[in-house]
Amino acid sequence: MNEREQVRDLARQYAEIAFSDEAKANAANWGRLNALDAGARPPIILDQLPWHEFGGYEDLRCVCTDPFLRGIENYFRSELFRIRHFGADLVLPPYYPLGKVFDDTGVGITTVSQDESEHANAQTHLYVDQLPDEESLGKLKNHRITAHPEETAKRKAAVEDMIGDILEVRPTGVMIWAAVWDRITFWKGAESCLYAVIDEPEFVHKLMKRCVEIEMDYIDQLEAQDLLAAGPGTHCHCVETYVDEDRYRNIDQGHIRTEDCWISGAAQIFSEISPAMHDEFEIEYMKPLYDRFGWVNYGCCEPLFHKIDIIRKMKTVRSISASPWTKVDRQAEAMGGDFVMLRKPNPAYVRAGYPEVDAVRAEVRKTLTACRRSGTPVAFVLKDITTVNFRVEGLTEWVALMKAEIENG
């Protein structure tokens, strides 16, 4: 089988799964969940995987030598690997997503790490403070986005020539991760950020005002140049975006607006900051931005159980993260049936390659009990998986364990 046929064979395998009855049922269940139907089956999804530990698996080994073919092959192999080994409720897009081509000049600064010679290859880093004072804010520039539709069309035609009779080839735009405080942390360092909100509040207000101005302008440019992503097959911070609502079903793929889109964001550095300060330095600035979008997926690793009331100020929030460090009973009660809880199971329970059965069961049972008591729709999202000790079967076993608990709970 030559390289072209290898890719076409993978496309056929992918299409068989993407158009299967199981895929349609999973998409419909996500749609019910995201429409706040507490009766929807709690879906399971895995993302942010330790791909570097899966290199020994034959079904991930790319054989194409041509770079163009290899890129397509890698997409199909990765997605087929995910669905076959631990697909759970992952829904493969019923098309080949081809990223639209555009240039982005950036914002004038990038992350600069401190000397890390004493802990090379660590998973955590220390950053140089590039924004120490008001004068330094002059470094920050607006993005300049330039779309290249001709190049996108050229690439689309090339992929269609390869697999167009098997799958639609759909140019796709950007799903926005609007975690402004994550970026500020990379530019200043965590310690500098936390001291600044206490010691230099006026400076922080000016910093946030400028950062939100930049983000708003960036979104304006993406929207004007048709570079946003929305609709079936798109993912928002690891989860499916299907919604059983007419406004979702009626999205015009030829002209995607912010109100058609999901957006995700967080302020993870505010994990230990009071609700009042979180509101003052994040929610009040980000609310106008988030309110432009149809649906918001808010939060990541920071516990938010005591901040649901300030999150409610943002009118389009649909799902809220419940990290491994949350107090799930309090969060479910505070959310009620008004939001989807995206429960983030603890990835430490799979780190050895074998699920810690008792811990996994206790975690899911406690979550299901809390959510059923309060009428809160819930999904389980295992992410930030640094290691499974090179044993992918451990994730397969974790999924089976979770499914059994959900079905029997």
Taking the alpha carbons at both ends of the chain, their separation in whole angstroms is: 48
Residue 340: what are its φ and ψ, rounded to 5°? -85, 130
- pLDDT of 117 strictly over 90: no
What integer is the mean pLDDT of 115-141?
A: 84
Answer for the pair 306, 330: CB distance below 8 angstroms, yes or no: yes
- Residue written as token pair 């440019």: 221
pLDDT digits (tens, 9 = 90+) for 147-196: 999 999 999 999 999 999 999 999 999 999 999 999 999 999 999 999 99
Residue 374 confidence class, pLDDT cut points 50, 70, 90? very high
Question: What's the pLDDT at 51?
Answer: 95
Q: By the 8 A CB rule, do 402 and 46 touch?
A: no
Q: Each residue of 321-339: pLDDT tens digit?
A: 999 999 999 999 999 999 9
In sequence order, which ranges of 267-312 are alpha helices (DSSP H)? 275-278, 284-290, 308-311
Number of domains in the chain: 1
Mean pLDDT of 32-55: 96
**Backbone torsion region of residue 375, taken as left when φ is above 0, otherwise alpha when ψ lies between -120 and 50, otherwise beta:** left
What pTM value is reported for the model?
Answer: 0.96
272-309, pLDDT tens digit by residue? 899 999 999 999 999 999 999 999 999 999 999 999 99
Band the pLDDT of 113: cuts 50, 70, 90: confident
**Average pLDDT across the chain, whole number:** 96
Q: Given pLDDT bands bounded at 50, 70 and 90, which one contains residue 9?
A: very high
Phi-psi region of 71 (alpha: psi -120 to 50; beta: other; left: phi over 0): alpha
pLDDT per position as a tens digit, 222-271? 999 999 999 999 999 999 999 999 999 999 999 999 999 999 999 999 99
Q: Where are the beta strands (DSSP E) in 200-322?
A: 235-236, 239-240, 262-265, 295-298, 317-322
Strands (E), 157-267: 169-172, 235-236, 239-240, 262-265
What is the four-CA torsion angle of 165, 167, 169, 170, rounded to 10 degrees?
A: 140
| Beta-strand pair 317-322/295-298 | parallel
DSSP reduced 3-state for 174: strand
Share of the chain above pLDDT 70, in %: 98
The pLDDT, as a whole number, for residue 199 is: 97
Determine the Cα–Cα distance for residues 237 and 348; give it in Å rounded to an integer.
Answer: 20
The kind and range of the H/E element at 296 are strand 295-298
**CATH code at position 276:** 3.20.20.210
Q: With the C-alpha atoms ordered 61, 63, 64, 65, is the resulting torsion angle positive or negative?
A: positive
Enclosing domain of residue 112: 3-408
pLDDT at 56: 85
Residue 125 pLDDT exceeds 90: no
pLDDT value for 114? 85
Length of the chain in terms of residues written:
409
